[in-house]
Amino acid sequence: MKKLYTLVITLFIMIVIAGCQSEEPTPDPEPLTYLNPVYEPVFADPSVIRHEGIYYAFGTQDYGQWGDEYGVRYIPILSSLDLVHWTYETSAFTLQSRPTWGTLNAGLWAPDIVKIGDTFNLYYSLSTWGDPDPGIGVATANHPLGPWTDQGPILRSLQIGVNNSIDPTVFEAEGKVYMIWGSFRGIYGVELTQDGLALKDGINASDTKTLIAGLDTSTSWNGATYEAPYILKRENYYYLFLSSGTCCDGHNSTYNVRVGRSTNPMGPYLDHDGRTMLGTYRGFQVLIGSGYFKGPGHNSIAQDDEGNDWILYHAFEVVESPTFGNSPRRSLMVDKIIWNDQGWPTVFGSMPSNSEQEVPNITPRA
């Protein structure tokens, strides 16, 4: 009996050991990936905000380039839970509700979405190509999806004394609200009222505005200067992202993103070589075109739940670019920002990614 008991115990131990040896460790799951572009056929000049766990992106009026039954989208709005899968939601305006205070047939370009207090402010450019008096206006809503109520113009080019007054970016700093704007005729800054709906100095703002980057507005158009400003506050610096080159020449576009920084919201902004951004060909290189994507630029920045920064921008895809007529369209792109040891931002290789990338680290909504 004792031998039988010993045999049973021995067999049991052998079975347990064999079972343990046959168990393979569970491998770590493969990381989720995405591939640029993240939204097609067209989404130019993106501005992004996160509200209640959802990212919302606002883009330039598209003139019916989607080729569907909805026609023109007057500032299209997308939503996403992860920054890489985007869904069209609505437009900020309709044909009937769109602002019409600008030049005849002016389009709604280069929006900027900001929350000030409990109100969402949607800044927009109202302009045509070659417009002698474009301007910047603002609409308000209680939610990123609207409904949006237009509050009219904040400034126009002739009033403020800045040629080609488009491309606004608005931000809060040190208890004040600022707007920086401009397009190849000087990048300027000015203080707004606390609600962000008007110039703090009113009609005197033309005298109190500050030249931030590029050349004075009295100089001629110069593609080696800048447009599309965007401000990111990180640690002790305000980072001024700017786009330079040609934005809209399809596969011949030379658009690229550069950055300078300052400890003061109104500058002076310096580049990595200590040069002021008041000039041409200045700034630390963030993004430049490649053989796969041309003309990357006009960026916004969003954070994931780990605090990583992601740059959202538009670019022309070279091989399979969606077209409208015979012209390629600008699609939505996203890449992770890498901060170097000196505190300057770029992306891997300084070019748009063209292979699978790990998705942003975002906790799923409950």
Annotated catalytic residues are 45, 227
* 30: DSSP letter: P
Q: Which amino acid is at 350?
A: S
Beta partners for residue 39, in sequence order: 332
Paired tokens of 335: 């890449």
The residues near 39 (Cβ < 8 Å, ≥ 6 apart) are: 57, 78, 86, 331, 332
Is residue 76 within 8 Å of residue 91, measured between CB atoms?
yes
For the record, the structure tokens of 255 come out as 């658009």
Q: What is the DSSP letter of 318?
A: S
Q: CB atoms < 10 A from the CB of 201, how many?
A: 15
- Count of beta carbons in the 10 Å neighbourhood of residue 153: 16
Contacting residues for 322 by C-beta, under 8 A, at least 6 apart? 40, 41, 42, 328, 329, 331
CB 326 within 8 Å of CB 316: no
The DSSP result for 42-69, as a single string, is ---S-EEEEETTEEEEE----TTTT-ST
- DSSP letters for 203-239: GGHHHH-EEEESS-TTSPP-TTS-EEEEEEEETTEEE
Label residue 50 exposed, middle or buried (CB < 10 Å: 0-12, 13-18, 19+): middle
Q: What is the dihedral of CA 128, 134, 136, 137, to 10 degrees?
A: -80
Alpha-carbon distance of 355 to 129, in angstroms, equals 35
Q: In what order do the strands lie in the sheet with 309-317?
A: 293-303, 309-317, 330-336
- Residue 78: how many CA atoms within 13 Å on its side-chain side? 27
